[in-house]
A and B are shown apart, each in its own frame.
Chain A
Amino acid sequence: MKLMLRVAPGIVRKPLIASVILETGALINIERASIDAVSGEIVLDVSDDKCKQVKDAFERRGVDVVLLEIPVMRNEEECVHCGACIAICPTGTFRFDDWKVVTDPGKCIQCGACVTACPHRALQLVLR
């Protein structure tokens, strides 16, 4: 399961992820992180069984945590099933099934590459 952390100013410089790993013992994979002096946005991948525990641990530390259940939405009206989203996705979220594009939302890390690559503007990141 993917979690998106929104880290507020003030706690961004604390070793949040390290302390959550130590506390929960969860194997956390950082899939995307964009952190500057005042705030940060981090996407983590955590196994389903540890997900709740990790989410709670971050929230206790003042981090806003969002479960990315449907990270990217495709407008079926706009999509013509060309496939321009497939090869540019770093995590393989999209593939052809009988030449129709299908999405595996569990793989999306919300990098946004597909959104600019879609000629029909059929893709949209949720929560961004």
Chain B
Amino acid sequence: MEAKKSLSEINERIRDGSVRVVTAEEMPSIVEELGPDGAVREVDVVTTGTFGAMCSSGVFLNLGHSDPPIKISRAWLNQVEAYGGVAAVDLFLGATQPSEDRGIEYGGAHVIEDLVSGRAVDVMGEGVGTDCYPRMEIETTLHLEDLNQALMVNPRNAYQRYNAATNSSDRTLHTYMGTLLPHFGNVHYSGAGVLNPISNDPGFEYIGTGVRIFLGGAQGYIVGPGTQHSPGTGFATLMVSGDLKRMSSEFLRAATFTKYGPTLYVGVGVPIPILNERLALSTAVRDSDITVPVVDYGVQRRDRPVLKSTSYAELRSGFVEINGKEVPTASLSSFHMARMVAGTLKKWIERGEFLLTEQAEPLSKSGVSRPMKQTKELPYVGDVMNRDVVTVGENISVPEAARVIVGSRFDHLPVVSDDGKLMGIITTWDISKAVANGNISRVSEIMTRRVYTATPDEPIELAARTMDIHSISALPVVDKDNRVIGMITSNDLSRLFAGRRSI
């Protein structure tokens, strides 16, 4: 007969102090030793935990009514805009909103941390002016205790697992996965692996709406599946809620990813009662069982290439092999803090301070994370580029190149090898400089060999960004064999946008 027990039996043991709680890190060896049936008899609750950047976080704040009353349409807390379109004095402050005075170094997440730490926050509001809410402006300074309610509601937290990120391109990228060095210089990952809440109950045997959890150092609840919940692909998420007034700045930490923006590091832990052997087995998951795609963030498109599949065990080893090379790995979420979350939740349960709730409904086993339907597309490079591009060979002289430039419409001349592959580029400026210096030898000696290029299938926004980042005004367009098939210039883009406006 299958070993099982009920949630009320477990809560009874929590009340009388006889409950046996272990963290998800300890569970694999217990199940290995005792078998799933033995583990059900031995263990009552497995605690999980995760602590990482959870951008999709925020708080509903109720400020109370002023005299005369105001219906706030726009509001700023420490110069960070909060959404004022909820009701008269209810605001929603999102973690990733940057401040208007300090930029991304301070944002919504930092306001939340300041509030939790007991610091004063300057509030500014604009009203619409109505018969019931005549006031037009408000300025005040508030502490967390001055707010009627401060309710954390995070639309998407505690990803089941997360992509590991690397960068094939030749420049350093600053992303929400941290600094990614060029030419696969590093791999960054996020997530607590063996301790991850959903990875320990991927079938939602227990995890569901109404389940009491650890959130930011306090007791919170699972509201339901999070946005982009996609259990079919192993990327399930949670929407969670809790009382900010009870939370602690130890488990809610503001952060800023350079050149990306502010975010909030949130501690989330879910207790999993070992009601049956299925739960004993799912909580026996190890780092090596949880696979993670290694994704190339060097490709700035929605569907970034997946280079390989790895596991949390390999990521934690410090190296992942990519194209035969050992690439160093590092984490962006904190496993140390995930342990603190799981350990704190364990203590609460052992002390009888935390009772487990029955789920009102399991999380949905299907979810939708479709790409955006785009009804108004900007064209691709191939639609806009000049196809009548003029190229020159490496061995022609500078005066010859000058004659070609004068005879063509371009200020840029791609230099190609005998088989048509892009080798370099020269500009009118390069030629002027060479002539001024008395250097009129071959173009191969004066050309720029580091050429930024575009491909015909990339959206023009990306080509425009490449030109903007490198302060250049033209890009050769190359095919997959690096042969020059066109040119796109900043003039082409200007014409495109000017033309659109004039229609």
**Does B258 lie within 8 Å of A116, measured CB to CB?**
yes
From B105, B253, B256, B332, give the contact of A83 (CB < 8 A).
Answer: B332
Residue of B nearest to A117 (CB): B179
* A82-B52, A87-B186 known; A119+B263 contact, CB < 8 A: yes
Q: Which residues of B contact A121 (CB under 8 A)?
A: 105, 255-256
Q: Which residues of A contact B (CB under 8 A)?
A: 80-88, 98-100, 113, 116-117, 119-121
**Does B188 lie within 8 Å of A119, measured CB to CB?**
no
Stretch at the interface among B15-23, B335-343, B474-482: B335-343
From A88, A100, A116, give the contact of B330 (CB < 8 A).
Answer: A88
For chain B, give the interface size range.
Answer: 20 to 34
**Does B255 lie within 8 Å of A120, measured CB to CB?**
yes
A116 to B179, CA, bound (A): 8
From A86, A100, A119, give the contact of B256 (CB < 8 A).
Answer: A119
- The smallest C-beta distance from B195 to any residue of chain A, in angstroms, reads 11
Mask of B320-347 contacts with A, CB within 8 angstroms, 1/0: 0000000011111111110100000000
- The smallest C-beta distance from A119 to any residue of chain B, in angstroms, reads 4
Q: Which residues of A contact B188 (CB under 8 A)?
A: 84, 87
A121 to B253, CA, bound (A): 11
**Does A83 lie within 8 Å of B258, measured CB to CB?**
no
A100 to B339, CA, bound (A): 11
Q: Which residues of B contact A (CB under 8 A)?
A: 51-53, 105, 174, 178-179, 181, 185-188, 253, 255-258, 263, 265, 328-337, 339
- The smallest C-beta distance from B127 to any residue of chain A, in angstroms, reads 36
Residue of B nearest to A92 (CB): B328
Residue of B nearest to A86 (CB): B330
* A84-B332, A86-B330, A88-B330 known; A117+B337 contact, CB < 8 A: no
- Residue of A84, A85, A120 most packed against chain B (CB within 10 A): A84
* A88-B179, A119-B178 known; A82+B256 contact, CB < 8 A: no
Please name the 7 residue pairs, one residue from A and one from B, whose CB atoms are nearest each other, closest first: A87-B330, A119-B255, A87-B186, A86-B330, A81-B336, A83-B331, A87-B328
- Residue of A84, A98, A119 most packed against chain B (CB within 10 A): A119
Residue of B nearest to A122 (CB): B255
From B105, B187, B336, give the contact of A100 (CB < 8 A).
Answer: B336
10 extra A-B contacts, CB within 8 A, seeds A82-B52, A86-B328, A116-B258:
A80-B253, A80-B337, A83-B331, A84-B188, A84-B332, A86-B331, A99-B335, A117-B178, A119-B53, A120-B265
